[in-house]
Amino acid sequence: MKKRGVLNWEIASVIAQMGHGDMICVGDAGLPIPHEVKRIDLAVTAGTPDLLTVVRVILHELAIEEAILAKELTKNPSYLQELQELLPTEHITYIEHKELKTLLPRAKAVIRTGEFTPYANVILRSGVVF
């Protein structure tokens, strides 16, 4: 049995397959996921699991060069601050939520959480460790 890190085999598998520039999205419960993209549905109930917990675990295993957030998340400054504390701020890009949704078909996977915070979605673009 795996002792630590990402225990969900689908998420671990996607992370292991990611190369430089590949994207994975962690989304709220309401994010529309394109049919052609791998969906990893973790949502159990409202708020469980929360997006911040899932992002925190992924960041322990994935080198990222960019995090893409919706500009609309600035309407919720306390939540945005919590997310910014997890991410290297020099690598955060803000785009319109509509534009963020257009990037989803290029993602290796979208992880659906039980997050009920509006616009709480993050696309992580894989970096390299060298």
Active-site amino acid positions: 20
Asked if residues 52 and 9 have their Cβ atoms less than 8 Å apart, the reply is: no
Q: Which pair of tokens denotes residue 113? A: 């959480």
Report the SS3 class of residue 95: strand
C-alpha 56/C-alpha 50 separation (Å) is: 10
